[in-house]
């Protein structure tokens, strides 16, 4: 995260420098819409960005699986802006989707980790995440890096378009620079998270729930658990629970709530009560100072406070650690999960 922000975010002077994006700022803010295409973890980062860009920039955003976009006959208008997100920069579905959009006159911005990769070369411009090499197959730090870049892109565009007031802009810049220190504090919760993992490692299924900015984090938590511990896990918007998944709840089901303080906090609290009333086991990711959820949940992981817009960069970390410890406790090689490839090139 330090590397991602370094040289780009100058909080003192309220400046964000991202030359690739700046070059197209005018076209992006005037675009009819932004279409984000990606796969896996990168798609989840795109979903967070949809919430952030629509909120701060008031530009319509669609988020598409590249793996479906490429097989549809999507309507792309000249001047639409495509943001392609990829850790490896080599994901075949994303590459083909970009080519398809490019043929129809879209502007392509690549948010990529691997410098000089195919997606970086195919894009008109973009920004590198500078997250360093991902050692394991499953994306982890790439997600935080992608969110750091996407948040800076949103702030830059909002400032350009005039959809954010100066105080909020400066506050969010400060929130971003505070992330690395808060992330380090969360990593110190490792032993606590390991103990929780031990408790639930034999579960056959798990549910991950969140609202708003935390909904994509719930999806990402479920994906990580599937990828590295082979436990069947589903992520849902907390409010969707009543439309089906609640039927799964019994005293054997761990339900992970991404419940950091946000605009919908009371609603999440009532979802937790509904799970407890059905004897589900609740593990909640909460913000320090929360006095309600600790009295309801079976286990809590307490995070430093952060604005809800940047909070996903933090709330994902305990979920990554939880999956890591469950995988290790089950004796799996978490760096090389079975059946998964680092970059899906076919």
What does the binding site for ligand F1P look like in residue numbers (CB under 6 A)?
39-42, 86-88, 91, 94, 137-139, 340, 342-344
Six-digit token pair at 209?
A: 């729930």
CB of 88 to ligand F1P, least distance (A): 3
Closest-approach residue to ligand F1P (CB): 40
Give the active site residues.
342
Nearer to ligand F1P, 150 or 293 (CB): 150
Nearer to ligand F1P, 150 or 164 (CB): 150
Q: How far is it, in rounded angstroms, from Cα 261 to Cα 76?
A: 37
Nearer to ligand F1P, 224 or 281 (CB): 224
Residue in the structure block whose two tokens are 């850790």: 87
Nearer to ligand F1P, 216 or 280 (CB): 216
CB of 313 to ligand F1P, least distance (A): 16
CB of 87 to ligand F1P, least distance (A): 3
CB of 334 to ligand F1P, least distance (A): 12
Nearer to ligand F1P, 16 or 85 (CB): 85
CB of 21 to ligand F1P, least distance (A): 19
């Amino acid at each position: 995260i330090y590397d991602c922000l370094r040289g780009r975010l100058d909080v003192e002077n309220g400046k964000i420098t991202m030359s690739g994006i700046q070059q197209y700022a005018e076209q992006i803010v005037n675009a009819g819409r932004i279409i984000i295409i990606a796969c896996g973890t990168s798609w989840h980062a795109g979903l967070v960005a949809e919430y952030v860009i629509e909120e701060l920039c008031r530009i319509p955003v669609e988020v598409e699986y590249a793996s479906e976009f490429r097989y549809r006959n999507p309507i792309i208008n000249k001047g639409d802006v495509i943001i392609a997100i990829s850790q490896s920069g080599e994901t075949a579905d994303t590459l083909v989707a970009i080519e398809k959009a490019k043929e129809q006159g879209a502007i392509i911005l690549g948010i990529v980790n691997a410098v000089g990769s195919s997606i970086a070369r195919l894009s008109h411009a973009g920004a590198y995440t500078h997250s360093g090499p991902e050692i394991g197959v499953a994306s982890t730090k790439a997600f935080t890096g992608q969110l750091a870049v996407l948040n800076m892109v949103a702030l830059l565009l909002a400032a350009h378009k005039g959809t954010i007031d100066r105080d909020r802009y400066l506050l969010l810049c400060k929130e971003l620079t505070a992330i690395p220190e808060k992330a380090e504090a969360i990593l110190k919760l490792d032993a606590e998270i390991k103990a929780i993992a031990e408790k639930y490692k034999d579960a056959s299924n798990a549910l991950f729930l969140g609202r708003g900015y935390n909904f994509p984090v719930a999806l990402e938590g479920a994906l990580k658990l599937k990828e590295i511990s082979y436990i069947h896990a589903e992520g849902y918007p907390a409010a969707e629970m009543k439309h089906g998944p609640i039927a799964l709840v019994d005293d054997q089901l761990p339900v992970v709530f991404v419940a950091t303080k946000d605009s919908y906090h009371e609603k999440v609290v009532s979802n937790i009560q509904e799970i407890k009333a059905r004897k589900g086991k609740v593990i909640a990711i909460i913000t320090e100072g929360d006095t309600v959820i600790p009295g309801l949940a079976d286990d809590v992981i307490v995070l430093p406070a952060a604005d809800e817009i940047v909070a996903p960069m933090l709330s994902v970390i305990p979920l990554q650690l939880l999956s890591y410890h469950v995988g290790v406790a089950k004796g799996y090689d978490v760096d090389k999960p079975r059946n998964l490839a680092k970059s899906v090139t076919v």
